[in-house]
Structure 1
Amino acid sequence: MTADPFHTHRNLLFSIAFDILGSAGDAEDVVQETWLRWHGVDHARVDNPRAYLVRVVTRLALDERDRLHHEYVGPWLPEPGPDPVEDVARAQEVTYGLMVVLETLSPLERAAFILYEAFGFRHAEVARILGRSPAAVRQLVHRAREHVEARRPRFPEERAAAQAVAERFLDAALGGSIAGLMEVLAPDVTLRTDGGGRVKAALRPVTGSDRVSRLLAAVAPVGLETTVYWSAQDGPPTAALFSDGLPYAVLVVVMAEDQHRISEVYGILNPDKLARLAL
């Protein structure tokens, strides 16, 4: 007896759905729907079950992503925490910080980048999965790669410099220091916060160092003993903030081109999305 291709590739399908959606629960729902579709077709007529399943889960994930973002309160940022599936071979690890950065791409750019860069599918394969031409997929991947590379510290010295600036930023933010924040924020910095309607958060991106610094200083957790855990993964500096053993925020900090100031800040505050960190 041969194994059911769905079960053989289930971990791969879940990882693709999770990377596109940024939510473990929603990724699981998409995988279940993929299973239903798989058992609703004549398997004898499917030449390549793996390609068929990846195509179905990708398109379902893109559709679900549109629905979730349409219904969501404020900016949507991915759920933090380690990849639930650790045994899927990837051509290149997509760290959490990079998953956050990918949120600013179009859905097709994000999907093309994930399939090509993270899971090693070729341009022609991605084209069949997304229903686009290979030339169009090359453009999608190229734009996505440029976007990501501009926000990823490339060399050890860049990573060290970015980490130092990020730590100064977080110290100033936690201390409610507007002057300290102004020193590390680029004039055109953008702040995106995901509260999901559960906690206070900006419903739209906030731009400008003055507005961002004043907002961060106003919401500083004064009087709380905060523990900060910095991610050891490559990518933009990423910190998880805990109080009394419970997570209350994850921050991702992107450096400006000069590597001396911060151009983008992402804050995940939705307690539903932070629940996995508590585990």
Structure 2
Amino acid sequence: MAGDGLADAAGSFDPLRPALVRVAYRMLGSVADAEDIVQEAFIRWMGADRERVREPEAFLRRTVTRLCLDQLKSARHRRETYIGPWLPEPVFEEEEEGEDVTLPLMLALERLSPLERAAFLLHDVFGLDFGEVAGTIRRTPAASRQLAARARRRVRDARPRYKVDRRRGLELAEAFFAASRSGDMKALGSMLAADISLHADGGGKRPAAAEPVAGFHAVMKLHENLANLFRESGSKLVRAGFVNGLPGFITREADGEIQVTALEVEGGKIAAIYVVRNPEKLGHLY
């Protein structure tokens, strides 16, 4: 009987798991934490009176969102004590999938309160009406609408303004890798916007800039110094693709560890470079 109950719970839950992981990941910015949250939701699903649940997807999305809201309370403290710039765990795809929650938007979501973040994601990204949003976050529809509107204003500049052509994005990522590793500063400079910024997340586990590097000359100087290290120790391209909706690549560095680079492109130029080096954020890519 217990086996039948488990099979029944898994049979109704497993088709929904990928969508639930997407909700949790966008709430938390962590693949591992998202998977843990969804597994906890499955445990609760096993113990629920499933025959009385009319809409399993809505029930489970509500459960996952509420678990994420609880998790964000402790996550906020961890962010405050994090060493250096914090970036979300990268999700890497060989092909761009029309991702509308890009890495810059995920960083903007970090500035929101947990309830603002939930209301915005559930309504603006996942398309739920405010009645369901309200039931999920335990607020009135009017309050949920206000939370989403406030969040929308705060993240407006981080929303994707236009889609980068897939082929052009991959070409730019590969050209950036080649120029930055070979030390071809002329080629590298031709790709960068004047107000470019670089954000590197080492989490205190691997060397990385302690603060974002801003401006064309500062970023060029950093890459000139890095190119000397690359010539001595090497940096191998593992594969190019899309990182949270942005063109980028995975490399294996001289210390044997991998790192992930994502490029924000505006007007044909690289406007921001995001590098995740913290090995604790990269284990799911091996």
Q: Distance in 2 between matches of 1:153 and 1:12?
A: 23
Q: How many Å apart are 1:141 and its aligned residue?
A: 4.6
Q: Which residue of 1 aligns with 2:231?
A: 222
Query: 270, 281, 286: which is aligned to 1:262?
Result: 270
Pair 247,191 (structure 1): closer, same or farther in 2 beyond 3 Å: same
Gap regions ≥5 residues in structure 1:
84-91
Partner residue of 2:26? 19
Written as runs of structure 1 = structure 2, the 5 A alignment for 1:247-258 is 248-256=258-266
Question: What's the offset of the Cα at 1:202?
Answer: 1.6
Which SS does the other structure have where 1:249 is aligned?
strand
1:134 alignment partner in structure 2 = 145
Query: In structure 2, how many angstroms separate the alpha carbons of the residues matched to 1:147 and 1:46?
Result: 37
Q: What code does the residue aligned with 2:217 have? A: D
Change (3 A) 1:99 1:188: closer
Q: Distance in 1 between matches of 2:169 and 2:53?
A: 49
The whole-number CA distance in structure 2 between the counterparts of 1:111 and 1:142 is: 15
Change (3 A) 1:124 1:270: same
Contact map agreement 1:240 1:247 (CA 8 A) in 2: no
Aligned 1:1-279 pairs, distance under 5 A: 3-4=8-9, 7=13, 9-34=16-41, 50-65=57-72, 67=75, 68-81=78-91, 94=99, 98-99=102-103, 101-105=105-109, 106-107=111-112, 110-116=117-123, 118-130=125-137, 131=139, 132-138=143-149, 140-141=151-152, 144=155, 147-150=158-161, 152-153=162-163, 156=165, 159-220=166-227, 221-223=230-232, 224=234, 226-231=236-241, 235-242=245-252, 248-256=258-266, 259-278=267-286
- Distance in 1 (CA, whole Å) between partners of 2:125 and 2:108 is 18
Instruction: Tell me the CA shift for residue 263 of structure 1.
Output: 1.3
Q: Give the 3-state SS of the residue equivalent to 2:231 in structure 1.
A: coil
The range that moved more, 188-197 or 175-184, is: 175-184
Percentage identity across paired residues of the two chains: 33
Give the drift of 1:177.
Answer: 4.0
Higher helix share: 2
Distance 1:57 1:169, change over 3 A: same
Shift, 1:253, TM fit: 0.7
Match of 1:229, SS?
strand
Match of 1:276, as an amino acid?
Answer: H
Distance 2:30 2:39 in 1: 14
Aligned equivalent of 1:88: none
2-structure distance, mates of 1:10, 1:181: 42
Structure 2 CA distance for aligned equivalents of residues 196 and 249 of structure 1: 13
Tell me the alpha carbon deviations over residues 181-240 of structure 1, each in whole angstroms, 9 at most, x when there is no partner. 333222221111111111011222221111122223323422315125221689421211
The alignment's TM-score, normalised by the length of structure 1, stands at: 0.73
- In structure 2, distance between residues paired with 1:196 and 1:23: 14
Task: Encode CA deviations 1:17-51: one digit per residue, 9 max, x unaligned.
Answer: 12322323222333355467678989899886644
Of stretches 194-203 and 177-186 in structure 1, the one that deviates more from structure 2 is: 177-186
Moved more, 45-54 or 194-203: 45-54
* Contact in 1 for aligned 2:120/2:147 (Cα 8 Å): no
In structure 1, C-alpha distance between the alignment counterparts of 2:183 and 2:66, rounded to whole Å: 44
> Aligned residue pairs: how many?
263
The amino acid that maps onto 1:240 is I
